[in-house]
């Protein structure tokens, strides 16, 4: 039986805190292949809740789930040049079956634009077949050099949407609709506020015309890209020859989009809401929303009775777990806290003398003692308060730590303090490379909603004398 170990305080060493929390919360194990993860029930359960809720939203929008193959023949992959260049160094390559060499090499999908291109080519004949709006939940492999649980691993899970349209405006609109959908999802389900924006040309997806992103701020001030949506225009349809007959019987290349969120979101949840007692799972995606903690059940039979009663009543609406082990009360509380269960209800003989139990919030650690028959009337409200409190705290932090700079030295200072820094910037690749080399920060996005100064000002780069009214958000990122 594993025992609970100390968690390094997050103020002391954030990276160490993160790995401690991930381990102590029993969220992951390490796979036998370096850089791969085992998603244990505590983390996979969150992913399942994300899938469930996102699938419901997708279904209401007419998005259809499909499943495409894992392997991409080399000859098929090689066609769209930008895409190839972007992904080639990370491609796990199948060359043999057992000891037999295959006549062609196959790549394990790092993303599935190429596979969907093949499907679209086969499925699309006329404008009447369009739009096609597909999504798949899948595993992908990218052979990363440095890895970090959830944030960067050689295999991860995600959903990837792929669409084909007759109308470029419709495709562009969908690209933006999806990034807004992700931003809303992050707010409403994960209690994570995000900055919505467009990637700079240097940072956009390999093969896209434009990329939109949602960027979240972790507790250490660093950015985490939490979802992206790409307008692919006709880049893939021209490369893969995906045409449709328009109403005038002319052949036209389809317009495409793709968009996705991944198990990185689990990392985002931990680093947005976690504290020195462990993770805090936002109630709407928590695999268990309530822990029923039986205390000294062997001393008083009423403990088990009330715990059963509460389980029956609460399970109708919420996801409930019972801790009926004979471990010490302190251990049980710490175990529930470390796993981030939003609420725990302690059921012990002393409280029960007055028919009471104690409800403990994971986020504020606030305790409320209530009659056990009244518990069910409190849960909905408390869970909503927890969600809102998590969101509000994260939003306050994001707002406090987002600053503007117009001078390059000032910018460097602020970025080194792990701020989100918004600067007037011309978006030249060379300037982005310079900033990255000098500060470690990258262009996160050109934020959508900004109260910008009315007049154009000089680009922040000392060597650039152009005026611009484009403002770009820079930060160190995961």
Asked whether position 143 contacts its own copies by CB under 8 A, the answer is yes
Interacting stretch for its own copies, rule CB under 8 A, among 96-104, 165-173, 395-403, 435-443? 96-104
Please, what is the angle between helix 301-315 and helix 375-400, to 10°? 70
Residue 197 CB, nearest approach to its own copies (Å): 31
Contact residue for its own copies among 129, 170, 177, 220 (CB under 8 A):
129
- Please count the residues of the chain: 478
Identify the residue among 6, 32, 381, 449 touching its own copies (CB under 8 A): 32
Q: Which of 96, 316, 449, 455 binds its own copies (CB under 8 A)?
A: 96
The stretch among 33-41, 307-315, 402-410, 434-442 that binds its own copies (CB under 8 A) is 33-41
Which candidate, 185, 196, 376, 366, places its Cα nearest to that of 285? 185
Q: Is 97 in the site for its own copies (CB under 8 A)?
A: yes
> What DSSP element (H or E) covers 350?
helix 349-352
Task: Specify the stretch interacting with its own copies by CB under 8 A; choose among 8-16, 135-143, 360-368, 382-390.
Answer: 135-143
Taking CB under 8 A as the rule, does residue 38 contact its own copies? Answer: yes
Q: Which is nearer to its own copies, 158 or 372 (CB)?
A: 158
Q: Is 57 in the site for its own copies (CB under 8 A)?
A: no
Applying the rule CB under 8 A, the residues between 147 and 206 that interact with its own copies are 155, 157
Q: Which region, judged by CB under 8 A, interacts with its own copies, from 127-135, 189-197, 378-386, 453-461? A: 127-135
Minimum distance of its own copies from residue 121's CB (angstroms) = 10
User: Using an 8 Å Cβ cutoff, are 340 and 280 in contact?
Assistant: yes
User: Does the protein bind its own copies through residue 4 (CB under 8 A)?
Assistant: no
Q: Does 47 interact with its own copies (rule: CB under 8 A)?
A: yes
Torsion sign across C-alpha atoms 47, 51, 52, 56: positive
CB of 153 to its own copies, least distance (A): 9
Q: Which position among 17, 20, 45, 342 is part of the footprint of its own copies (CB under 8 A)?
A: 45
Q: Does 40 bind its own copies (CB under 8 A)?
A: yes
CA nearest neighbour of 72 among 115, 41, 128, 34? 115
Which position has the token pair 């985002």?
268
Q: Which structure tokens are listed for 223? A: 């950015």
Q: Is 94 near its own copies (CB under 8 A)?
A: yes
115 binds its own copies (CB under 8 A): yes
What 3-state DSSP class applies to 345?
strand
Q: Which is nearer to its own copies, 42 or 418 (CB)?
A: 42
Burial 129-155 (b: 16+ CB within 10 A, else e): ebbbbbbbebebbbbbeebbbbbbbbb
By beta-carbon proximity to its own copies, the closer residue of 94 and 252 is 94
HEC profile of 33-60: CCCCEEECHHHHHHHHHHHHHHHHHHHH
CB-side neighbour CA atoms (13 Å) of 400:
11
User: Closer to its own copies at the Cβ: 37 or 280?
Assistant: 37
Give the nearest distance from C-beta 319 to its own copies in angstroms. 10
Q: Which of 1, 247, 381, 455 binds its own copies (CB under 8 A)?
A: 1
457 contributes a contact to its own copies by CB under 8 A: no
Of 43, 83, 71, which is closest to residue 262 (Cα–Cα)?
Answer: 43
Whichever of 91 and 414 has its CB closer to its own copies, that residue is 91
| Distance from C-alpha of 389 to C-alpha of 243, rounded to nearest angstrom | 50
Return the H-helix or E-strand segment holding 371: strand 367-371
Choices 15-23, 36-44, 167-175, 467-475; region in contact with its own copies by CB under 8 A? 36-44
Name the phi and psi angles at 339, rounded to 5: -90, -5
Nearer Cβ to its own copies (39/408): 39
Q: Identify which range of 128-136, 191-199, 401-409, 456-464 contacts its own copies by CB under 8 A.
A: 128-136
264 and 147 Cβ atoms separated by less than 8 Å: no
Per-position b or e across 323-343, b if 16+ CB within 10 A of its CB: beeeeeeeebbbbbbbbbbbb
Cα radius of gyration rounded to whole Å, the chain: 25
| Smaller CB separation from its own copies, 90 or 220 | 90
**How crowded is residue 288: how many other Cβ atoms within 10 Å of its Cβ?**
22
Binding residues vs its own copies (CB under 8 A): 1-2, 29, 31-33, 36-41, 44-45, 47-48, 64-73, 76, 88-98, 105-106, 108, 115, 118-119, 122-123, 125-126, 128-129, 134, 138-139, 141, 143, 155, 157
């Amino acid at each position: 039986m594993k025992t609970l170990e100390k968690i390094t305080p997050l103020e002391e060493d954030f990276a160490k805190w993160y790995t401690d929390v991930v381990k102590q919360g029993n969220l992951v194990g390490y796979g036998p292949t370096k850089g791969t993860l085992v998603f244990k029930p505590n983390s996979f359960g969150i992913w399942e809740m994300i899938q469930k809720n996102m699938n419901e939203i997708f279904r209401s929008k007419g998005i259809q789930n499909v499943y495409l193959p894992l392997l991409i023949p080399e000859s098929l992959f090689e066609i769209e040049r930008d895409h190839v260049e972007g992904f080639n160094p990370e491609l796990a390559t199948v060359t043999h079956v057992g000891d037999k060499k295959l006549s062609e090499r196959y790549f394990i999908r790092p993303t599935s634009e190429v596979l969907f291109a093949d499907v679209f080519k086969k499925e699309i004949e006329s404008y009447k077949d369009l739009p096609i709006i597909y999504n798949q939940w899948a595993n992908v492999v990218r052979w990363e050099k440095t890895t970090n649980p959830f944030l960067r691993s050689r295999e991860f899970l995600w959903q990837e949407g792929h669409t084909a349209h007759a109308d470029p405006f419709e495709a562009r609109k969908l690209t933006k609709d999806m990034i807004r959908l992700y931003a809303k999802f992050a707010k409403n389900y994960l209690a994570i506020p995000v900055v919505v924006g467009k990637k700079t040309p240097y940072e956009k997806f390999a093969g896209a015309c434009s990329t939109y992103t949602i960027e979240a701020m972790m507790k250490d001030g660093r950015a985490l890209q939490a979802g992206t949506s790409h307008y692919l225009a006709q880049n893939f349809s021209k490369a893969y020859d995906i045409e449709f007959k328009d109403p005038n019987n002319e052949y036209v290349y389809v317009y495409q989009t793709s968009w996705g969120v991944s198990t990185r979101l689990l990392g985002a949840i931990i680093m947005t809401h976690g504290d020195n007692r462990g993770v805090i799972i936002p109630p709407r995606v928590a695999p268990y929303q309530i822990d029923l903690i039986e205390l000294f059940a062997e001393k008083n039979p009423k403990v088990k009775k009330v715990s059963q009663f509460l389980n029956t009543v609460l399970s109708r609406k919420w996801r409930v777990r019972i801790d009926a082990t004979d471990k010490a009360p302190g251990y049980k509380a710490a175990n529930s806290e470390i796993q981030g269960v939003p609420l725990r209800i302690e059921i012990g003989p002393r409280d029960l003398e007055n028919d009471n139990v104690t409800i403990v919030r994971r986020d504020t650690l606030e305790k409320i003692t209530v009659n056990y028959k009244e518990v069910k009337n409190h849960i909905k409200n408390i869970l909503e308060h927890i969600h809102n409190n998590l969101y509000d705290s994260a939003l306050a932090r994001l707002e406090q730590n987002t600053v503007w700079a117009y001078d390059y030295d000032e910018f460097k200072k602020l970025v080194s303090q792990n701020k989100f820094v918004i600067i007037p910037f011309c978006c030249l690749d060379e300037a982005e490379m310079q900033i990255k080399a000098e500060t470690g920060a990258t262009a996160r996005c050109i934020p959508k909603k900004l109260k910008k100064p009315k007049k154009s000002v000089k680009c922040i780069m000392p060597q650039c004398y152009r005026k611009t009214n484009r403002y770009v958000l820079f930060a160190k990122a995961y």
